[in-house]
Amino acid sequence: MNVKIDTKEIFHVISILDTDLTANMSASFMAIIAKKQEEDAKSLILDLAHINSIDLSFAACLTLLSSQIYAEQKSFVICNLKESVKEKLAEWSILDELNTTPTESEAWDIVQMEEIERELGAEFPE
């Protein structure tokens, strides 16, 4: 699996450079994420601009990852989804479970807003 990782102050941007996301790539992808989070646990932005197709098991992997990241009080946003990938995720009722944006810039904004919300929530306990 070919990925590019760009680390920012509060998040990592992970760009998958392959064109198809298949079931046999799930374990490799999760290992890359686990290693990166072990080194430096941050919010994640997943850039899927190069992806033309995705299979159900990889999509399920994304929902699992999203749950794990949010459980750790971090953000997980997927950006640059092509229409073919969006359609598949919607068909499987997964698209609504994921935090997605049209552009990486918008993903940055969401991560930063959610970070501010967490900070404010810590200052004002319920």
Per-residue pLDDT of the chain (126 residues; tens, 9 = 90+): 899 999 999 999 999 999 999 999 999 999 999 999 999 899 999 999 999 999 999 999 999 999 999 999 999 999 999 999 999 999 999 999 999 999 999 999 999 999 999 988 866 555
Q: For residue 50, count other CB atoms closer than 10 A to its CB.
A: 16
The CATH number that domain 3-123 falls under is: 3.30.750.24
Please, which residues have CB within 8 angstroms of residue 99's CB and are 6 or more apart in sequence?
A: 66, 75, 76, 77, 78, 110
The pLDDT value recorded for residue 122 is 67
Enter the pTM of the model: 0.92
**Which residues, other chains included, contact 13 with Cβ-Cβ below 8 Å and sequence gap of 6+?**
5, 6, 7, 45, 47, 104, 107
